[in-house]
């Protein structure tokens, strides 16, 4: 009996994830033109109440500056496990960052929001520079930022 | 139950946390030396100082160190003792955007598979 339970558990663990639907989502973050160093950005998901759910991407390599990405830093607890493999260089003024990620379908049309926190050295930190509900209707429609981000657009594929 | 390895692991974990926290400077503001003193000291040692700012209670210096290495270092503001030093990578944060974009604008992100559960597989990242 024990062997059966073990085999069934293994089968479930290996087979079930294959049934979970996921799709590629491209996030395009266009920065304003400003006078300053490269911007640190955190793209992350929250629920409708603004509670942190997970990290999508962090631009900026020096983790000691991550605390300036206030909303994300608070939600993630700056736990490296939350952003391992999801970091790259900071993004300079006027440039556009494009990230394509594979996300679970359950994250779309379920009240989740994409948020971007931004910070530039010696300049203001902008918490929730952009807030965009993650919905099928919102795909392809730019959402304006209020800080260093000119706009965020996501495209569901 | 073998408790020795567990106790050892926890001790090591706590010790590493303490070591990381030591990067901050805790000098009383009344004892701080002017940043010009630090600039003069470093330039006399062969540094080329580009900028000095305050970060986490330390003086943070960007420039080229006495060996000509582009570096970022922090110093205790009272004693001007070096607290940390790291090589400043040419591909991060500063003025030359062409360098931190790789071939065809492909970002040189770390390439391990993310482990936070929300993102599946490796992201594709470009900067245009």
Q: Mean pLDDT throughout B44-67?
A: 89
Instruction: Give the residue among A138, B8, A90 at the shortest CA–CA distance from A153.
Output: A138
3-state secondary structure of B103: helix
Mean pLDDT of B11-38: 68
Edge-to-edge strand ranges of the sheet holding A39-46: A87-88, A52-59, A39-46, A113-120, A125-133
Asked if A43 and A116 touch (Cβ cutoff 8 Å), the reply is yes
pLDDT at position A69 is: 96
Which whole-number Å values give the CA distances from A18 to A22, A71, B77, B122, in the listed order?
Answer: 10, 33, 56, 17
| Overall CATH class of domain A21-156 | mainly beta
The DSSP secondary-structure symbol of B81 reads -
Alpha carbons A141 and A2: distance in angstroms, whole number: 53
B64-119 tens-digit pLDDT = 998 888 888 999 999 999 988 888 765 454 444 333 333 334 444 444 556 567 78
Residues 6+ apart with CB under 8 A from A95: A30, A31, B97, B127, B128
To the nearest whole Å, the CA of B23 is away from the closest chain A CA by 10
**Domain range summary for chain A, segments of one domain joined by +:** 21-156
Which B residues in the span 55-94 are in contact with A, Cβ-Cβ below 8 Å?
55-56, 89, 91-94
Structure-block tokens of residue A19: 């049934």
The residue extents of the domains of chain B are: 24-88, 90-128
What does the pLDDT read at residue A45?
95
Taking CB atoms and an 8 Å limit, are A81 and B115 in contact across chains?
yes
CB contact under 8 A, A102 and B120: yes
Is residue A23 over pLDDT 50? yes
In chain B, what residues touch A85 (CB-CB under 8 Å)?
110-115, 122
Q: For residue B59, give how far its alpha carbon lies from the nearest alpha carbon of chain A (Å).
A: 14
Distances (CA, A) of A114 to A51, A103, A130: 11, 12, 8
Residue A32's alpha-carbon distances to A62, A68, A92, A145, B105, in angstroms, are 22, 19, 9, 9, 19
Q: Give the pLDDT confidence score for residue B113 in this predicted structure.
A: 58
pLDDT at A22: 84
CA distance A30 to chain B (A): 9
Whether B119 and A103 lie within 8 Å, measured CB to CB: yes
Residue A136, pLDDT score: 94
Side-chain half-sphere of A131: how many Cα atoms within 13 Å? 14
How much is the pLDDT for A142? 96
Contact between A57 and A84 under an 8 Å Cβ cutoff? The reply is no
The pLDDT value recorded for residue B21 is 43
More confident residue, A39 or A9: A39
Asked if residue B47 lies in contact with residue B66, where contact means CB atoms within 8 angstroms, the answer is: yes
pLDDT tens per residue across span A101-153 = 999 999 999 999 999 999 998 889 999 999 999 999 999 999 999 999 999 99
Q: Residue A23's closest chain B neighbor by CA?
A: B120
Note the ipTM here. 0.70
pLDDT in tens, A59-86: 998 888 999 999 999 999 999 999 988 9
CATH number of B24-88: 3.10.450.40
Has residue A56 got a pLDDT over 60?
yes
- Say if residues A151 and A145 touch (Cβ distance below 8 Å): yes
Give the confidence band of A38 by pLDDT, cuts at 50, 70, 90.
Answer: very high
Predicted pLDDT of residue B25: 84
* Range A77-97 average pLDDT: 92
Whether the Cβ atoms of residue A93 and residue A63 lie closer than 8 Å to each other: no
Instruction: Indicate whether B56 pLDDT > 50.
Output: yes
Which candidate, A134, A137, A147, A126, places its Cα nearest to that of A54? Answer: A134
**Range from B15-19, B53-57, B79-83 carrying the lowest mean pLDDT:** B15-19
HSE-up of residue B95 (Cα within 13 Å, Cβ side): 3
Q: Which of A2, A72, A67, A121 is nearest to B72 (CA)?
A: A121
pLDDT at site A4: 56
Distance in angstroms (rounded) separating the CA atoms of residues A25 and B54: 39
């Amino acid at each position: 009996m024990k062997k059966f339970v073990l085999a069934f558990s293994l089968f479930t663990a290996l087979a079930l994830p294959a049934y979970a639907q996921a799709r590629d989502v491209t996030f395009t973050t266009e920065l304003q033109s400003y006078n300053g160093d490269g911007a640190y950005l955190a793209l992350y998901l929250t629920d409708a109440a603004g509670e942190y759910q997970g990290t999508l991407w962090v631009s900026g390599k020096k983790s000691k500056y991550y605390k300036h990405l206030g909303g994300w830093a608070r939600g993630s607890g700056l736990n490296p496990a939350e952003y391992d493999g999801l970091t790259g260089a900071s993004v300079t003024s006027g440039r556009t960052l494009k990230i394509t990620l594979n996300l679970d379908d359950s994250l779309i049309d379920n009240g989740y929001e994409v948020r971007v926190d931004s910070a530039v050295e010696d300049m203001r930190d902008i918490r929730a520079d952009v807030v965009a509900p993650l919905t099928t209707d919102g795909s392809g429609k730019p959402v304006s930022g209020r800080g260093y981000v000119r706009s965020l657009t996501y495209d569901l594929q | 139950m073998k408790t020795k390895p567990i106790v050892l692991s926890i001790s090591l974990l706590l010790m590493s946390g303490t070591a990381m926290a030591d990067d901050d400077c805790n000098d009383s503001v009344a004892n701080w030396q002017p940043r010009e003193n630090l600039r003069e000291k470093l330039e006399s040692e062969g540094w080329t100082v580009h900028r000095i700012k305050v970060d986490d209670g330390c003086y943070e210096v960007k420039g080229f160190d006495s060996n000509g290495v582009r570096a970022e270092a922090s110093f205790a503001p009272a004693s001007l003792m070096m607290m940390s030093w790291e090589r400043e990578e040419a591909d991060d944060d500063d003025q030359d955007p062409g360098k931190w974009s790789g071939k065809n604008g492909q970002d040189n992100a770390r390439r391990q598979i993310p482990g936070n559960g929300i993102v599946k597989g490796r992201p594709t990242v470009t900067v245009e």
